[in-house]
Amino acid sequence: MVGGTAKRPPRPTGEAVLEIDGLSVALPKGADREHAVDNISVSVAPKEIVCLVGESGSGKSVTAFSVMGLLPKGQLAPVAGRIMLQGEDLLQASEARLRDLRCTRMSMIFQEPMTALNPVMSCGNQIDEVLRTHTTMSQAERQTRILDILEQVHLPEPPRMAASYPHQLSGGQRQRIMIAMALVLDPVLLIADEPTTALDVTTQAQILRLIRELQERHDAGVLFITHDFGVVAEVADKVAVMQWGRIVEFGDVHQVLTDPREPYTRMLVSSVPSMKPKLRGAREPAAYILQTKALSKTYVDRGFLRKSTVVEAAKDVDLQVSRGETVGIVGESGSGKTTVARCIVRLIDPTSGDIMIDHYNIATAKRGELHDLRRRVQIVFQDPYRSLNPRRTVGASIIEGPMNYGQRRADAESRARELMDLVHLDPSSLDRYPHQFSGGQRQRICIARALAMGPDLLIADEAVSALDVSVQAQVLRLLDDIRNEFNLAVLFITHDLRVAAQICDRVLVMHKGEVVEQGTAHQVFSNPRHAYSRALLDAAPGKDWEFGELLNAER
């Protein structure tokens, strides 16, 4: 228990607040490796932000949860090393002692602000719970403290925020509530586990700024976990790079990003797509494969005996894609980019406007007509874990479409083998199930499935967003090769500006259902005209760093 005034014990200056020394965490038997975390050592000094960076499965989160003592019981257990928080070994601490330390001296914020707050408790109550658990403050003191911390995280109208429930707030506001909750008792250590990964880029920039600001004001050391080198460049003082449970490189941020010593770090850093668009040369004008005219989608929610609400998900969208060209739609969540994609494949019906594929209008096509048009437009979705039927072999998933259109099984199968080869997968693995492949491989399978239909237009809806950077780079290269080889029209939907810069010939920026700017990638990235495009580009983390180029130039 901390007293009513909640002053923390004086901290020995200059000494590390957190010192992880030779930590190993065992995985259950039968896992792909023995240790989730293998003999790692990291330290965090006061006022310092140390980034743990690595690809999925590298052991970053396990490290964080080990510090908090929140590893899933019976599955993961620390087997060696020490975790010293201000000189106290957390691995030796009792369960009760750990509970006392949580939120008073070490706090954690999580990746998903959407789900990390209890949906049925008001935000103020959730912060109050921390104060009630750890202090003897009176109701009035607690109330003042809550409003004060909400003010510090720059939430407008703190009393209203305290009274609201998580679902009434935006993702960014929720993450601010989480940060307020974590910092309300002035912990010496803040662990941030991918705190901005689920947020839009402009919100991300604000939250990163906030974490920096508060960490300075509260003198906290921060262990910041991320997979995003842009974020690393933006916030880190020091960087520890993790691979397969080990720290392969630990050093000053400038050194690691500009002069990495380890090949793995070098590969990671060079995989980060550049913000400078690739110069792809002027294209010869070709006929449009896809053309939308004033495409709109309006959702009307009519209720029984109540006012109906109208949402304009897409408004007067005009876009054109010609053969052999990649057109990107960039925008934040809720901007309408996915709505446009779904209208084009007629997964949803547009409210008004035309969608022309050659001279056929998909927007108004009747059932029979639509059947023929469907094979000309194919889509690859974001989440390769969920877009393949887990109970069917990947071969069955690939040949199903062509067979629906009358291809003979033997032909469809031989085509499937060719396509597997094309996406650099072993054709003999067609009779395996999706769970036997990695995320990147599954996305290749999804691409092969789309190509099996012989489309004119391929839509990639955030198709590389769920992938690690190194895998992302490979899939992007694959998509570009395929576009070239088949002279495909590609509509590439993404929230990631770096990705858009690398793959798109032309870019449309969407905001609140409308296209606010469109032009060649080079125009939009180097000379954005619309204020929103400028804000978007400005918010991109690590925009001043040229990761890939820098290293490529050295070689």
Partner 1 sequence: MFGFVIRRILSTIPVMGMVALLVFLMLRLTPGDPAAILAGDNGTPQQIEEIREALGLNEPIHKQFLIYIYDIVRGDLGESYFFKKQVTELIAQRVGATTSLAVITLIITIVVAIPLGVIAAYRRGSWVDQVVMGFSVLGFSVPVFVLGYLLIYIFSIELRWFPVQGYKPLSAGLWAHLHRLILPGITLSVIYIALIARMTRASVLDVLGEDYVRTAYAKGLKNSVVLMRHALRNAAVPIVTVIGIGIALLIGGVVVTETVFNIPGLGRLTVDAVLGRDYPTIQALILVFAFVYVLVNMLIDLTYTFLDPRIRY
How far apart are alpha carbons 354 and 343 in whole angstroms?
Answer: 10
Instruction: Establish if 197 lies at the interface with partner 1 (CB under 8 A).
Output: no
Options 108, 161, 453, 479; binder of partner 1; rule CB under 8 A: 108
Enter the tokens of residue 374. 């469907």
User: Cα–Cα–Cα angle for 395, 396, 397, nearest 5°?
Assistant: 90
Instruction: Establish if 93 lies at the interface with partner 1 (CB under 8 A).
Output: no
516 neighbors 532 (Cβ within 8 angstroms):
yes
Options 16, 17, 62, 103; binder of partner 1; rule CB under 8 A: 103
Options 8, 82, 99, 432; binder of partner 1; rule CB under 8 A: 99
Q: List, edge to edge, every strand of the sheet that includes 18-26.
A: 35-44, 18-26, 77-85, 88-89
Q: What is the 3-state secondary structure (H, E, C) of 45-80?
A: CCCCEEEEEECCCCCHHHHHHHHHCCCCCCCCEEEE
Binding range to partner 1, per CB under 8 A, among 121-129, 281-289, 419-427, 444-452: 121-129
Binding range to partner 1, per CB under 8 A, among 8-16, 101-109, 390-398, 413-421: 101-109
Binding range to partner 1, per CB under 8 A, among 113-121, 254-262, 339-347, 355-363: 113-121
Q: Report CA-CA distances (Å) from 546 to 175, 233, 275, 500, 552.
A: 29, 10, 8, 15, 10
Closest CB 121 distance from partner 1, rounded Å: 8
Closest CB 133 distance from partner 1, rounded Å: 6
Q: Lay out the site mask for partner 1 across 259-298 (x = CB under 8 A, - = otherwise).
A: ----------------------------------------
Give the start-end residues of each E strand in 93-159. Answer: 106-109
Backbone φ, ψ for residue 132 (5° rounding):
-65, -35
Region 57-76 residues binding partner 1, contact defined as CB under 8 A? 68, 70
Enter the tokens of residue 248. 């392969």
Nearer to partner 1, 118 or 484 (CB): 118
Residue 223, SS3 per DSSP: strand
Q: Lay out the site mask for partner 1 across 166-185 (x = CB under 8 A, - = otherwise).
A: -x----------x--x----
Binding range to partner 1, per CB under 8 A, among 20-28, 120-128, 355-363, 432-440: 120-128
298 neighbors 308 (Cβ within 8 angstroms):
no
Residue 505, SS3 per DSSP: coil
Instruction: Establish if 160 lies at the interface with partner 1 (CB under 8 A).
Output: no
Closest CB 270 distance from partner 1, rounded Å: 33
Buried/exposed code over 529-555 (b: 16+ C-beta within 10 A; e: otherwise): eeebbeebbebbbbbebbbbebbeeee
Instruction: Establish if 120 lies at the interface with partner 1 (CB under 8 A).
Output: yes
Instruction: Establish if 112 lies at the interface with partner 1 (CB under 8 A).
Output: yes
Give the start-end residues of each E strand in 172-287. Answer: 189-193, 221-226, 238-243, 246-252
Binding range to partner 1, per CB under 8 A, among 110-118, 202-210, 219-227, 471-479: 110-118
Options 40, 42, 50, 116; binder of partner 1; rule CB under 8 A: 116
| Overall size of the chain counted in residues | 555
Nearer to partner 1, 193 or 332 (CB): 193
Chain-centre distance for alpha carbon 49: 21
Region 298-327 residues binding partner 1, contact defined as CB under 8 A? 303-306
Q: Could you tell me the sign of the dihedral formed by the alpha carbons of 532, 514, 347, 478, in that order?
A: negative
Say which residues have a Cβ less than 8 Å from residue 117's Cβ, sequence separation at least 6. Answer: 123, 126, 166, 174, 177, 178
Closest CB 113 distance from partner 1, rounded Å: 9
Instruction: Establish if 104 lies at the interface with partner 1 (CB under 8 A).
Output: yes
Count of residues binding partner 1 (CB under 8 A)? 33
- Compute the CA torsion angle 271, 277, 282, 283 (nearest 10 deg): 60
Instruction: Establish if 442 lies at the interface with partner 1 (CB under 8 A).
Output: no
Region 124-143 residues binding partner 1, contact defined as CB under 8 A? 129-130, 133-134
Binding range to partner 1, per CB under 8 A, among 104-112, 139-147, 350-358, 502-510: 104-112
Region 460-489 residues binding partner 1, contact defined as CB under 8 A? none
Nearer to partner 1, 115 or 487 (CB): 115
Closest CB 125 distance from partner 1, rounded Å: 10
Closest CB 554 distance from partner 1, rounded Å: 42
Binding site for partner 1 (CB under 8 A): 68, 70, 98-104, 107-108, 110, 112, 115-122, 129-130, 133-134, 165, 167, 178, 181, 303-306
